[in-house]
C-alpha cells in the first residue's frame, strides 16, 4: 500500500495532473539550475560560495532520495518486474539523468580543482533533462524522435557523404592555390562543415573560379540538407502528438471505468405497496332464501 502511494506521488503518468511531490521536485529543479548558473559568477561565488555549496548538497540529497524511491517503486511494476528489473530501470535514459543530477555533486563535495568544479556545474545543468518526465511536450518530442530515427540516420548518412564529397572537391580544385586551407581533405572539411551548416564564418573561402563554382553548388545543396531533417521531424511530431492524445483519452476512459466499478451502486428504490383489492362481489349481501 505504501509503495503504491509513493508510486502515485512520483509518477506523473499515474494521475492527469502533477502531484504535490512532483510540483516540489519541479520547483527544486528550476531553483537548482538558477543556483548553478549564478554560482559560476566569481564575485557571487567569492561572497556566497559556502552557502551555495550547502544548498547544492541539500538539493542533491533530495534528488538522491527521489532516485531511490523511484527505483523502489519501479521494481514492482509490470515493466520492470523480475530479477533484472532494477538493472533495466537503472539503465533507462531518465534514470541515468536522475543519477547524474545528484551523484557528481555528492562525490566531489569539497573538491577544489577548477576543472572538476566546472565539470560538476555542467552535470548540475543536466538536471534540465528531468523536466522531460513532467512535460507532455517533451514526451511528444521524444516519441517523435524514436519513430523517425531510421529516417534521421539515413539523413545523417547522406549529409556525411555530401560533407566528405565537398571537402574532396575543394581539395582537388583549391589545394594548390591555398595549401594551408585546402591542402588536404581534413583541412577542407572545416570549410565543408561551415558551408553545409549554413554558418559561413568566411575565414576560409575558395579563390579560384572552379573553387567558387564548386562552393556555390555545395552551398545550394546545404539548404536541402538542413531542410531534410526538419521535415522528417515535423511529420513525425504530428503523428506522435496524435498517438499521445489517443493514449491519454484511453487512460481517462479506463480511469472512469475503474471509478464507476469501485463506486457502490445506489440502493434500489422501494416501490410503494398497493393493497390488494377485495372481491367486490363479496360485499354484496346474498338474497334470503324463500
Is the confidence at residue 11, as pLDDT, over 60? yes
Q: Find out whether 44 and 110 touch, Cβ atoms under 8 Å.
A: no
3-state secondary structure at position 266: coil
Lowest-confidence region among 6-15, 174-183, 186-195: 6-15
Q: Rounded mean pLDDT of the chain?
A: 80
Is the alpha carbon torsion for 146, 147, 153, 155 positive or negative?
negative
pLDDT for residue 5? 79
- 34-46 pLDDT tens trace: 888 888 888 888 8
Is the confidence at residue 262, as pLDDT, over 70? no
In angstroms, the CA 42 to CA 48 distance is: 10
Which of these, 146, 134, 133, 129, lies nearest to 239 by C-alpha position? 146
Cell reading at 14: 499515474
Cell reading at 188: 577542407
Q: Find out whether 175 and 207 touch, Cβ atoms under 8 Å.
A: no
Alpha carbon 240 to its chain centroid, in Å, reads: 13
In angstroms, the CA 253 to CA 148 distance is: 29
Q: Find out whether 173 and 205 touch, Cβ atoms under 8 Å.
A: no
- pLDDT classification of 168: cutoffs 50, 70, 90: very high
Phi-psi region of 265 (alpha: psi -120 to 50; beta: other; left: phi over 0): beta
Q: Find out whether 105 and 120 touch, Cβ atoms under 8 Å.
A: yes
pLDDT for residue 233? 83
pTM: 0.60
Lowest-confidence region among 130-139, 166-175, 182-191, 209-218: 130-139
Q: Around Cβ 181, how many Cβ atoms within 10 Å? A: 19
- pLDDT classification of 236: cutoffs 50, 70, 90: confident
- 56-105 pLDDT tens trace: 899 999 999 989 988 888 877 777 877 788 888 888 888 888 888 888 88
Q: Is 280 or 119 the better-scoring residue by pLDDT?
A: 119
User: Max CA-CA distance within the chain?
Assistant: 152
Alpha carbon 40 to its chain centroid, in Å, reads: 26
Q: What are phi and psi of 183, to 5 degrees?
A: -70, -10
pLDDT for residue 250? 78
Q: Is 285 or 2 the better-scoring residue by pLDDT?
A: 2
pLDDT for residue 8? 76
Output the CA angle 156-190-198, nearest 5 degrees: 60
- pLDDT classification of 283: cutoffs 50, 70, 90: low
Is the confidence at residue 275, as pLDDT, over 80? no
Amino acid at each position: 500500500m505504501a509503495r503504491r502511494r509513493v508510486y502515485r506521488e512520483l509518477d506523473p503518468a499515474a494521475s492527469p495532473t502533477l502531484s504535490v511531490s512532483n510540483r516540489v521536485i519541479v520547483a527544486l529543479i528550476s531553483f537548482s539550475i538558477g543556483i548553478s548558473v549564478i554560482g559560476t559568477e566569481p564575485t557571487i561565488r567569492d561572497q556566497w560560495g559556502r552557502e551555495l555549496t550547502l544548498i547544492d548538497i541539500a538539493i542533491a540529497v533530495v534528488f538522491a532520495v527521489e532516485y531511490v524511491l523511484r527505483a523502489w517503486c519501479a521494481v514492482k511494476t509490470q515493466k520492470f518486474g523480475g530479477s533484472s528489473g532494477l538493472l533495466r530501470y537503472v539503465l533507462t535514459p531518465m534514470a541515468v539523468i536522475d543519477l547524474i543530477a545528484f551523484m557528481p555533486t555528492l562525490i566531489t563535495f569539497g573538491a577544489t580543482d577548477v576543472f572538476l568544479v566546472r565539470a560538476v556545474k555542467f552535470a548540475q545543468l543536466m538536471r534540465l533533462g528531468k523536466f522531460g518526465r513532467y512535460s507532455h511536450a517533451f514526451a511528444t518530442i521524444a516519441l517523435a524522435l524514436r519513430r523517425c530515427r531510421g529516417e534521421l540516420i539515413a539523413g545523417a548518412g547522406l549529409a556525411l557523404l555530401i560533407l566528405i564529397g565537398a571537402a574532396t572537391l575543394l581539395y582537388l580544385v583549391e589545394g594548390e592555390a591555398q595549401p594551408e586551407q585546402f591542402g588536404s581533405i581534413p583541412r577542407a572539411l572545416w570549410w565543408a562543415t561551415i558551408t553545409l551548416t549554413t554558418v559561413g564564418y568566411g575565414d576560409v573561402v575558395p579563390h579560384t573560379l572552379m573553387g567558387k563554382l564548386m562552393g556555390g553548388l555545395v552551398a545550394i545543396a546545404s539548404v536541402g540538407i538542413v531542410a531534410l531533417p526538419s521535415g522528417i521531424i515535423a511529420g513525425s511530431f504530428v503523428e506522435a502528438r496524435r498517438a499521445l492524445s489517443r493514449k491519454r483519452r484511453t487512460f481517462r476512459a479506463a480511469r472512469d471505468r475503474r471509478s464507476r466499478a469501485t463506486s457502490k451502486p445506489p440502493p434500489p428504490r422501494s416501490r410503494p405497496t398497493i393493497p390488494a383489492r377485495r372481491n367486490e362481489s363479496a360485499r354484496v349481501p346474498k338474497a334470503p332464501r324463500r
